[in-house]
Every structure is written in structure tokens, then in C-alpha cells.
A and B are shown apart, each in its own frame.
Chain A
């Protein structure tokens, strides 16, 4: 492999190399510094005059004297069953002091798109034990369901609680967790690691850590390494894999940085115009495949800059993922854990995973009714602030009270409280609905009311 010393320009994370032989688009590049250390990069633009390489590590120490080798192949991730229980850097190198990983296979990290015709339809209900998820925004195997949060909110606790409690009732299949940290702080990383160790989850986990002080550009490959590993565990070893990606906001910042270095015309708020397509190449790597055993379920976490859900990062994410779980500052301030605001939250695959034979026949309609009643009660709060409680009709007062009950009992639960779907979550929902006049339950058919409403249940 020929080494070039023809770097003509270095700008941000990019190096420009001249007078090369024909170089392939997207190739992996190894760069050797004068002190003998090496860095990795990828070809972004190639022509017979100039090759542009994006370097995944800091460009500190790079100079025109650095040597550039083009490997002739795409970036690959060595994978193997041994990876379970290991902690790797954001670039995929072991950082837990353990031995090198002996790979069973090396896989291109870009990941080809799953042919829509080959996809299996997600249908298995995952019980997280959290009512606002299981009851009203159900997660199913193979779904991509992000947590939209903001600085200072307990999204990590929510993610950890999900990781600890997630199970498919009645299933004994092999599972694994793949965790990718991008630009997270050392404390955050420790919190995750300690929880994984405490609960024994680490044995079944593969952890990739790119910390806040690690190179930002490396964040571009970290989620791809994680997903390549997850797909291997899922589709080749048949495991059910839960992937946690945090924080996608840091990923997007890295993407913006590269765009700026390439002097591209920026899109909305300075993020690249292709960010939708780029994020899709990550989020779409979730799902099931017909005829194969495993599944990849994704829980990406992102922090909304300025708590703004219309910011391009949550906006483009929400357009790609199959719903979102929104963590609310207001509920957090009220001291409610988990502070999940169900109103803007959504699980698009919910209907596939619930109902008779899966959860319970009344699930969908209870959920719809809870939403409608809570939304109405929540609206009335605004009105009460202006006209006072006394100006409300009898009917409106019950809805107002319902909203408080809903937050206090349905939303609020313990950090280790693992509620079963039927007796834990849905029956609780009915108990709350029972505080409303029965004729207000317009979303539920009479039959179900007669079967599950506490008034009838008691008899």
C-alpha cells in the first residue's frame, strides 16, 4: 500500500491530498504522524486531482509531512460474540484493559438498507414497567423510539430503567444491550456503567464510549460501529438487541462541524441539508427481518437545544423514528418521576403490539380515553388561571381533577417500580377513568366498559 506525503491543505477535520492514484469514494484512510502515531479517516470526495479525507480523530499534530495510506476498502468493524461484556472507545478499540477482541467477522459499518420487502413486522410488546410507556406509548421489538429530553432532565435514569426492566412477557430468548455514548461526560458514562455492573447487565452489553473530551468527529462513526455490532448480534446470532444511543445532539453537532469545514451551503439553523438522510441511515437500522430470529430495537436519546421540539435535531429525528417519548421540564419541576409528558409523546407501532392476545383487549381504547381526558383537563388549567375554579362547570371540574390524578398516580412511579401491564398499568388507568362520569367515556365501547370499569368489576 503506497504512502503519500502530498497533503496540500488541512482545514478543521479535513485533509486534502494531491497526486494520488485513483482512490475509491468512502475508503478508509490511515494517516501516520511524524511521531509514529496513527489516525483514521474516510474519503469524502475523490477525483484525479484531489482527494478530500475526513479525519475521525483530532487533527492536532497533522502536518504536510504526515503520511497518508488509502486502504482500498470501506471502514469495517471487527465483530464477534466475545464483544459482550466489553467496553470500547468511540472508535471501537477496547478501553477496559481487557485483551484485543478476536473477530469472527469484519463488517462494513455503513450498513446496507434492509429491503422493505424483507422486513418482518414488529409485533412483540416490550414491557418496560413504566406506565406512560407501556400504557400509552407502547414500545415493540424492532422499533426505534427516541427519548426527547433537555439539559438537566433525568433522561438517563429513564433510559436505564427501561434497560433494566424491559422484557417481553413470556419470552426466554437471548437478549443484549448495545450502548453508544457520544460526547457524554465522564459522570454520565460512570452512571451508566455502574448501573450496568450493579444489575449484571454488563455481561450482556457492548459499550462504546466517546466522551465529551474525545474528538468530536469520531462521533460520526460511533453509532455506526454500535449498530453494526447490534445487527451482527441480532441477525447473525439471533439475539434481541436493545441499542441506546446518547446523545444524538452531539452527533448532529459533529455533522454540522464537518459541513462547515467543507464550506457547504448550510440548511436550517446551520445544519447540513442532508441531515435527514444522514440520520435516517442511523435510525432506519432498527427492525426485524423475515426468517431471522433476532431484532434491533433503538432508543436514541437527544437533548433539545433550548427545550425546543421544533429545533432541527428533534424535528428531523421525529420525522424518521417511530414516535418519541418526551421528557418535560414542567413535570420534573413538579417533582414527578419519570417526567414523561404523554401529550407530545407517541408510539407509532403501539397498535401492532397491543390488544387481545398481546396485552389486553381494552388497551387501545383505555389509552385513547386517558389521553383525551388528560388533554382536556390540562387545557382547563389554563382557563382556571384566568377565570378561577368556580367558573367551571361540574363536568369541567372533574376533568381538571383528573389531570392532577393522572400526573400524580399514572405518570409518577418509583425509579425501581416495575408495573405489569394488566394489573399494574391498565387497571390503574381504569381506576382513574372511574373518577369521570361514565357517559364521558366516549372513546370506549360499551362492552369494554361493562367488562373493565371498576363500577362493574366490583360486582
Chain B
């Protein structure tokens, strides 16, 4: 799809990633080709004669006087079979193709389509000639990986009666169907990244995105179609948590955006994911994944775009009726890219130099999440989880604050916890999930009617512990009343057995909801026995040092843990009986 080529502009000034052109007929957000090498750029300001452009590639060597031409199109992505398992830069250039074209280092001036144009896919029609179709209607499918890629009528096509539709082997640009009015339908659509794809209606989420991470599913769940932020200083666990979600969350499609972060982290995902299996389908995790990698040393304008590229791809799969989860690591780098560009435009800076529109951009981005009724009446969702990297770990800064105003779940990372290798280092006192009420039914139904009660109990114990710790800091733990010494021990179990979870242990890395429930029930079991024994006169030191509970952490590392857990609980009861009879 080529727009009409308008030419005639000329470069006037180059200062880093932002350049000025004159004599160009252009509108905001038009994609332009800059210089003799035709570097890709986007119009971000029109100031009289001067057209200000952010360039997605390195601008070294560009000179005043070089040509600039306008494509007349907006920044858009290719959508169609070929997306899954890909790794892209911020403007959807496949990194694998770039390696083939220019070697191990990223040079500039090379373009590559987002999805292969020559590859043939087996298209299976699901509609037939004479059927009435509307924007968003599914007219057929392609078995792309183990995932079925549904082929839809694009949202910007009017719809009508299908004149013809034929199964067979097609490239993404070949016509697979025609409407009565002559409109030709192809498997590939293009969509401008800065415009949300339309839906029929947004609904309130009621199902959790199960992640296999105990502190998330158990205490602070995110809903399918919900939003969460995970702020924390460096080294506190943002990336590992995001990767854990990408690996184990029960979404059908995962879009992972490495936005201004480390190259090796993307390589790690690339090496690891093909080896890992989806616990549900048993298929390699990579088959449901799309990666966007615009690392910290790649051009900053493309970093700004990467988040939009990612969310547009996520919406596209949502429109097929899938549950998609999107991780953006880190939204702070995205905000900084905005700040860098804005300061080069000499815009009036807002708080801490960020542009005044920071809050609006963040809100627009998170608003693209949601559980929706798609145009064709199906249900689909995009869950968005954004990492935030506050300078100096101080949550009062603008990106964290503006994000917290929008998202419904807050996973507060805490350097104090990571320093003692308590992982995930999510602070259980500061974090929250505003979905608890709307998800309660689901937990009741799918886990156990006891679950919500257990959860509240655990939160109370942790809260109580925090209060008691303040006293302990002043007078030492021996000075506490007996029952409270037990509370401290129960809280320790909740923290060390339930909350701590090792992402690198082959078993503990994922914990099913059933196992989470069993573990919490076991801790509650100990607590009940312990308080009863205390009332019966058993000294707390004996209650605290009973042997059987020392084996509880082993449950985490054990796959078929049930017999072991049974054994532990039986031994525990026996020990308590013994204690009480000798008390």
C-alpha cells in the first residue's frame, strides 16, 4: 500500500534524532524519508515553513540540503500471519531479517517488511460466498504455529456480501476473497500504531490472569483485560517478574516489549522461550510470543514508537478473540524518550523535564487494554503490565505517580527485600489490586470457597506482623505476649514458604492455583494447631521449633508434592499432640 509520494522537501538542520526540513508538504505524524539514504522519520511538529521530524535511525552524517520526501502515510504495522515468534525493533523491522541484510550490528537505511511477503500460508475459509460480513468478521483461518491465526475483515472496510472466497495457499498480499462491491480482501492488514483499533464495547473484567506466581495470583491478582504497574529501583525484579508473566501467565498470546532496556535480556528471552513449554498446551512458549526489542542503545525515536507498535499488535490478536497479555519493560524509558524528543523541540517542560502531555500519553496507552466485545461480537482481552523505573527508586516521581493514577494493580518492588534475596521482592504491605472484589467469585468457584477467607487471613497476619515488628525493634521478641510470638512465626512462614518464590527453580518457577491453595491451607493448619497448643499451655518456644514445619519449604521444590505435604501435616499433628500431652 503506497500512499501518494509527495516530494520536494529539503533538510535544514540536524541536531541528533530531531531534524528540521523545509519546503515539505506534510501533516502531523506523516512518515517521511530523510536524506539520500531515505532514513525513516515521522513528522512531530509543524512550525510555519519548518517541519520537525523525529528520525528512527542514527542521523550521523546527514547534511543540510539533503532531500526529504513525504510518504503521506502514518506510522503503521503489518498485521497478518507471520507475526508470531517474531522479534522486531521499535518500528516493526524484523531483527532476524536485519541480521541477514546487514550483519551482527544494526546499520541504517535498511528497510524490511514486518511480515514476510513471499511466504505462502494455507488459508482455510470459514465463510462462504453470499455470506454477509462486517468489519471484524472472521472469514477464515491459518494454522500459523500451534496458534490459529484468524483472518478478519479489516475494521476500516465497510463489509457487505462476500462475492467469492477460496481456500488455498496464499501470500499475505494475495486476494483471498472479494466483496460484492468489488473490495478485495487479503490476509494482511495495516494499521496506524497511534490509533486504537475499534471494539464494540469495553466490559468489566471478572477472570484473573493466572500467572503461577503466588504473591500475584494469591494476594494481588490482575484481571484478564486489566492493567498493572510494577515499579522498582534497579535490581529489584521488574524484568524477572515481567518475564515470569510472559512465560507462565495463562494468556493465549504474549507481546513482550523491551523498551530502552538491555540487549542481553532480549537475547535471553530468545534463547529460553523456544525451549520452554506452555504449561497448558505443552507447546514451545515462543509460538505464542511476539517480541519487540528496542534496546537502550538503539535510536531513541524508535523507542518512543515501540510501545505503540506492541499494543497495536496486541489489539489485533484481541480482535481475533484471544486473551493477550502485553508487558512493557520499561515504560520509564518510553517516557524518557518522549522527554528527550520534547526537549529537542524546545517545548515547555513540565515536572522533572517531562513534557506536559506525559500523563495523557500514559493514560491513552493503558486505555488500550481491556476486556472487550470485538466488532464481530466475540470476547477478547488485552492485559497490560508496565514496568516503571523510578530514578533513585523514589516512587514520588512523575512517571510512577501518573501511572498509579491509571492502573488498577500496583506491585510495589522493594530494594530491601531484593537485597536479602526475598524474591519476588514485592512489598506485601504497599501493593494492592483493585480487582479483588470483581474476581472473588471466580476464586470461590474455581479454587475453593475457602480461598478468599484464607487470603484475607494471610493479609491480616502480615499486617499484624508489621505492627509487632515495630515493637520487637524496641524491646526484642522475647518481650512479646505468647500468642503474638506465634503470630510472628506464622507470618514468617507466609513470607518464606508462600511469598518467596524462586524463578530459577525448575519446579517453583510456576505454581498452580491448586498448589497455592494447598500451601496456604497448610500454613493455616499450622497456625490453628499452634494457637490451640498455646492456649493449652504449651510454651511458644516449643511451638515455634516443632520439626515438621521445617519441611514445608521443600514443598515448593517438589513437583508431586501431595504425599509429602500429607506426611508433613500428619507429622505436625502428631508432634502437637505430643506437646499438648506433655504440657
Contacts and interface: CB of A to CB of B under 8 A. Distances in A.
Q: Answer yes or no: are A and B bound together in one complex.
A: yes
Interface string B290-304: 000101111010000
Interface in B522-564: 541, 547, 550, 553-554, 557
B60 A116 contact: no
B106 A112 contact: yes
A383 B478 CA distance: 13
B20 A290 contact: no
Interface in A423-459: 439, 442-443, 445-446
A117 B96 contact: yes
Contact of B13 (A46, A316, A382, A445): A46
B274 interface: no
Interface in B402-454: 415, 418-422
A116 B267 CA distance: 6
Contacts of B233: 315, 318
Contacts of B392: 310-312, 315
A433 B419 CA distance: 19
Contacts of A446: 554
A387 B62 contact: no
A284 B263 contact: yes
B282 interface: no
A142 B263 CA distance: 12
A25 B65 contact: no
B61 A113 contact: no
B99 A318 contact: no
Interface in A38-93: 44-48, 52, 74
A121 interface: yes
Nearest to B303: A277
B12 A375 contact: no
B14 A119 contact: no
B105 A442 contact: no
Given A319-B234, A348-B235, A112 B107 contact: yes
A284 B262 contact: yes
A353 interface: no
Contacts of B418: 346
B483 interface: no
A442 B234 contact: no
Contact of B300 (A44, A115, A277, A386): A277
Given A114-B263, A115-B98, A22 B63 contact: yes
B295 A284 contact: yes
B271 A121 contact: yes
Contact of A393 (B59, B61, B352, B477): B477
> Which of A45, A110, A383, A442 lies at the interface centre, i.e. has the most chain B CB atoms within 10 A of its CB?
A442
A223 interface: no
Interface in B180-230: none
Nearest to B504: A351
Interface stretch (B138-146, B152-160, B333-341): B333-341
A386 B473 contact: yes
B130 interface: no
B14 A25 contact: yes
Given A287-B264, A368-B421, A110 B87 contact: no
Interface string A271-292: 0011011001100110101111
Contacts of B96: 117
* A118, A120, A368 — most chain B CB neighbours (10 Å): A118
B393 A310 contact: yes
A300 to B, nearest CB: 15
A200 interface: no
Contacts of B62: 24-25
Contact of A387 (B104, B258, B333, B475): B475
Interface stretch (A152-160, A202-210, A242-250, A261-269): A261-269
A27 interface: yes
A171 to B, nearest CB: 20
B268 A121 contact: yes
A343 interface: yes
B419 A344 contact: yes
A96 B440 CA distance: 73
A46 B235 contact: no
B87 A47 contact: no
Contacts of A44: 15
Contact of A391 (B87, B262, B295, B478): B478
Contact of B61 (A27, A318, A320, A324): A27
A280 B63 contact: no
Contacts of A27: 61
Contacts of B263: 113-114, 116, 119, 284, 287
A24 B353 contact: no
Interface in A323-365: 323-324, 343-344, 346, 348-349, 351-352, 364
Contacts of B106: 112-115
Given A112-B107, A114-B263, A117-B96, A343 B353 contact: no
B320 to A, nearest CB: 27
B264 A273 contact: no
Contacts of A290: 104
Nearest to B502: A368
A46 B107 contact: no
Contact of A46 (B63, B260, B478): B63
Contacts of B3: none
A25 B297 contact: no
Nearest to A324: B235
A375 B474 CA distance: 19
B340 A386 contact: no
Nearest to B19: A25
Contact of A25 (B60, B258, B300): B60
A346 B235 CA distance: 7
Contacts of B420: 343, 371-372, 375-376
Leading 10 A-B pairs by shortest Cβ distance = A391-B476, A375-B420, A310-B392, A280-B296, A47-B13, A26-B60, A112-B105, A118-B104, A439-B550, A117-B95
6 contacts: A26-B59, A119-B264, A119-B267, A322-B262, A383-B472, A383-B473
